[in-house]
Amino acid sequence: MANSRQVLVVGGGNAALCAAISAAEHGARVTLLERAPEAAAGGNSRFTAGAMRVVYNSADDLRRLMPDLSDAEIARTDFGAYPREAFFDDLGRVTQYRTDPELAETLIDESYPTLLWMRKHGVRFLPIYGRQSFEVDGRIRFWGGLTVEAWGGGPGLVDGLTDIARQGGVNILYEARATALLETQGRVSGVRLRHQHLEDEYHADAVVLACGGFESSATWRTRYLGPGWDLARVRGTRFNTGDGIQMALDAGAAPRGHWSGCHAVAWDLNAPEYGDLAVGDGFQKHSYPLGILVNNDGRRFVDEGADFRNYTYAKYGGEILKQPQQCAWQVFDASVSPMLRDEYRIREVTRVSADTIDALAAKMDGMNADAFVATVREFNAAVNTGVGFDPTVKDGRATQGLAVPKSNWANRLETPPFEAYGVTCGITFTFGGLHVNSDAQVVSQADAPIPGLFAAGELMGGLFYFNYPGGTGLTSGAVFGRIAGRQAATGDL
């Protein structure tokens, strides 16, 4: 199905690779321009754990995505269902209903067909047993609407998509930083780039921007997110500095979305400034609903059990950044420590342990020990032990009478040994970006599509505000990347 169109894709992660595969599938000649060297390629996608939020109505739907699921696994696992209405409810609720309805509808309705498309091309998926399920009464139960991840996590996804793209004839250039869009007679006609330190121009019939947000630029973070955000650690790639957004704005694109908002999580206190591929997503610390979170003043400052981790983790990083020394401690006792996620057991972890709360406080660097001990005592006294504990549902096991409540999964800290994990803020991606319509066309300040220009992934504005449902980013990148590639190859230019 050959045609004469030349498509340039700017970026090298999940969204960019899906766009390139889709454009090539529809007959275009495709070149992908990745700013990073090959060893560091893949954008933020390579640093993720690979979870993808997707609509499904039964285990049979999941089996189409994961044909390796055995009858025994199906029999012992409660996968539940995640219908489109639940996805809509979750996305609307966490974004305070500011999410763009058309983008949301496209994301949700195309989530399952897009993962099937990826599966058809050779991407493998598996259930997220280790991070999204608990065993209760002899059954494995999934929770929080998140069930599917890419085989091999983010690195496996990027490597798989890269192989698929190359097999489809996509030409990939590394160390190729696009610096400006070229325009001819009112339409985008290529990019100016710096390739291995040499300036060049690449001409094309269409350009797809899929090169991330601006989270890796301390200057942009401070300008748009506000004071203090220059101190945040970057979870992923160092190469997402807003290039694609700036190029499009210079070409007349309209900005859109929550420019002062971002996805930011609890991240190990001593993690490096940018992501480390040797550790990947291991610096994250997402089991806080099982314990308490305190700052160095010894005070709790968020409701750790307000909702499932999937619906609070992306905003609690910003709350940690506001605390003294941009630091907090996650505290657990031995009754829940076996349930902590695998990232708590890596070698590169900031952890202290003791047999008493007083001894633990003495080991927590910078902690107001007296205030911390008083906080634990007050918390323990407030737990309603008359309600049963069940981590697979919002169990209503709450505290009573505290200024900062814990609404679910409240357990007394009374079984030694006690553990505390030091965390800071790790920023994942920014919510502000370009105005993009449901056909992945970039929209101008005159409210019309810019001819020849498409976008997908984290530089899209309008989907996420204030918060984020876990696993939605990779799904969004794949959905809109697939659309952008198809439209660039076959749609109106």
Instruction: Please state the φ and ψ torsions of residue 289, each to the nearest 5 degrees.
Output: -60, -15
**Residue 206 confidence (pLDDT):** 98
Beta carbons of 480 and 457 less than 8 angstroms apart: yes
Tell the burial category of 400 from Cβ atoms under 10 Å away from its Cβ (0-12, 13-18, 19+): exposed
DSSP lists the bridge partners of residue 141 as: 78, 134
486 and 358 co-located in one domain: no
Local structure of residue 461 (DSSP, 8 states)? E
Residue 301 counted as domain residue = yes
Q: What is the mean pLDDT of residues 51-62?
A: 97
Structure tokens at 464: 């996420």
Residue 294 counted as domain residue = yes
Question: Which residue segment(s) compose the domain that 445 sits in?
Answer: 6-213+431-490
304 and 406 co-located in one domain: yes
Share of the chain above pLDDT 90, in %: 98
> pLDDT category, 211, cuts 50, 70, 90?
very high
Asked whether residue 204 carries a pLDDT value surpassing 90, the answer given is yes
290 and 176 co-located in one domain: no
Mark residue 27 as left, alpha or beta (left: phi above 0; alpha: psi -120 to 50; beta: remaining).
left
193 and 52 co-located in one domain: yes
**Residue 493 confidence (pLDDT):** 75
Q: HSE of 160 in the Cβ direction (CA atoms, 13 Å)?
A: 19
Beta carbons of 7 and 439 less than 8 angstroms apart: no
pLDDT digits (tens, 9 = 90+) for 257-309: 999 999 999 999 999 999 999 999 999 999 999 999 999 999 999 999 999 99
Give dist(CA 437, CA 277) in Å, integer.
33
Structure tokens at 423: 């965390």
CATH number of the domain bearing residue 451: 3.50.50.60
Asked whether residue 70 carries a pLDDT value surpassing 90, the answer given is yes
410 and 447 co-located in one domain: no
Tell me what the pLDDT averaged over the chain comes to: 97
Q: What is the mean pLDDT of residues 305-331?
A: 98
Q: HSE of 90 in the Cβ direction (CA atoms, 13 Å)?
A: 25
312 and 163 co-located in one domain: no
Q: Side chain identity at 398, as an amino acid letter?
A: A
Q: Side chain identity at 298, as an amino acid letter?
A: G
57 and 78 co-located in one domain: yes
286 and 395 co-located in one domain: yes
Cα 480 off chain centre by: 15
Cα 262-263-269 angle, rounded to 5 deg = 115
Residue 239 counted as domain residue = no
Structure tokens at 270: 């001593």
**Residue 120 confidence (pLDDT):** 98
Q: What is the mean pLDDT of residues 223-248?
A: 98
Give dist(CA 135, CA 356) in Å, integer.
29
Pairing mode of beta strands 125-127, 148-150:
antiparallel
Q: What is the mean pLDDT of residues 353-380?
A: 98
Neighbouring C-beta atoms of residue 292, cutoff 10 Å: 27
Residue 355 counted as domain residue = yes
**Residue 492 confidence (pLDDT):** 80
Give dist(CA 322, CA 331) in Å, integer.
19
Structure tokens at 78: 């409660």
Number of domains in the chain: 2
Pairing mode of beta strands 6-10, 29-34:
parallel
Asked whether residue 3 carries a pLDDT value surpassing 80, the answer given is no
DSSP secondary structure, 48-111, as one string: S--EE---BSSHHHHHHH-TT--HHHHHHEE---B-HHHHHHHHHHHTTT-S-HHHHHHHHHHH
203 and 181 co-located in one domain: yes
- Taking alpha carbons only, the member of 133, 18, 151, 43 closest to residue 475 is 18
- Taking alpha carbons only, the member of 296, 412, 417 closest to residue 354 is 417
Residues 436-467 as b or e (16 or more Cβ within 10 Å = b): bbbbbbbbbeeeebbbbbbbbbbbbbbbbbbb
**Residue 1 confidence (pLDDT):** 47
Residue 413 counted as domain residue = yes
Residue 223 counted as domain residue = no
Asked whether residue 196 carries a pLDDT value surpassing 90, the answer given is no
CATH number of the domain bearing residue 403: 3.90.700.10
Give dist(CA 456, CA 441) in Å, integer.
9
Q: Which of 426, 459, 480 is the last residue of a domain?
A: 426
21 and 141 co-located in one domain: yes
Q: What is the mean pLDDT of residues 147-172?
A: 98
Q: Which of 381, 406, 426 is the last residue of a domain?
A: 426
pLDDT digits (tens, 9 = 90+) for 168-190: 999 999 999 999 999 999 999 99
**Residue 2 confidence (pLDDT):** 54
Residue 485 counted as domain residue = yes
Q: Torsion over CA of 464, 468, 469 and 473, rounded to 10 degrees?
A: 70
136 and 284 co-located in one domain: no
Q: What is the mean pLDDT of residues 99-114?
A: 98
Q: Which of 426, 442, 476 is the last residue of a domain?
A: 426
Residue 57 counted as domain residue = yes
271 and 411 co-located in one domain: yes
**Residue 4 confidence (pLDDT):** 79
